[in-house]
Amino acid sequence: MGVTNRLQPMRSEQRWTQAELAQRVGVSRQTINSIETGRFEPSLGLALKLARLLDVPVETIFALDH
Amino acid sequence: MVEITHGGTWFKWSSLDRRDKWLAGLSIAASLPSGIVAGIMLGGALHRTGQLLGGNGFEEPADTVQRMVDSAAYRSAALVALALAIVSALAWWRFSLRQDELFNRIQNYSMGRAGGWSMAIATGWWFLQLAGLAGAFPLGAFLLAMMLLLLGFWFHGVRRWA
């Protein structure tokens, strides 16, 4: 069972580039890219940082794939 | 934060800050003497392998490479290379601590898998040796195999996550 995410559209709503979002949460641009393309599932800590930054519950960004 | 490029063979220097560049550069530079020393040993081993395959058997220790390996200068160089290898490892450890979870997940995966397989190979060899089915443990070949496993799992991790 994988994890899907809505990080890319939510980032776009803020008009942030991947690099800008990466800098705000303290990871590399490559990490953000890998998350958005579904290749990399972030740790709980990083997922919560993203949720806090975007001011939404973490389940709004990440969900289990049915 | 480091970004891995070229399929895992390099990283984007411009993505590193000044301290990361210093640590990575120090680690790579300090590892070079170890590579030279190891290369001489590997060259000697491959030379002997070539002789064996050629049907001439091994030459006596008068062999050029063997003489070099037996020399006091080479042994001193090996100790210097060991000290520099420790510096390289410490610098890379400090560099790794400063990177994000994607880099460390790939690195931890490659080191964990390579370490596990290496232990399995060494343990298997030990039991075969106890059973009289294998000779002395070939340390150089083992280290080479471990390095190849590390690289293999590193590239697999990069392809999987990066």
In angstroms, what CA-CA distances link B158 with A4, B4, B5, B104, B136? 20, 8, 9, 11, 36
Smallest Cβ–Cβ distance between A30 and the set B105, B160, B162 belongs to: B162
What is the residue whose two structure tokens read 């490892």? B89
**Contact list, B102 vs chain A (CB under 8 Å):** 27-28, 30-31, 34, 40
d(CA A39, CA B112): 20
Residue B61's pLDDT is what?
A: 47
Q: Which residues contact B33 (CB under 8 A, 6 or more apart)?
A: B77, B80, B81, B84
For residue range B95-137, list pLDDT tens digits in order.
999 999 999 999 999 999 999 999 999 999 999 999 999 988 8
Q: Are A3 and A41 in contact (CB under 8 A)?
A: yes
**Contact list, B4 vs chain A (CB under 8 Å):** 30
**How much is the pTM?**
0.84
ipTM of the complex: 0.91
Determine, for residues A29 and B4 on separate chains, whether the beta-carbon distance falls below 8 Å.
Answer: no
How many inter-chain contacts (A to B, CB under 8 Å) are there?
Answer: 39
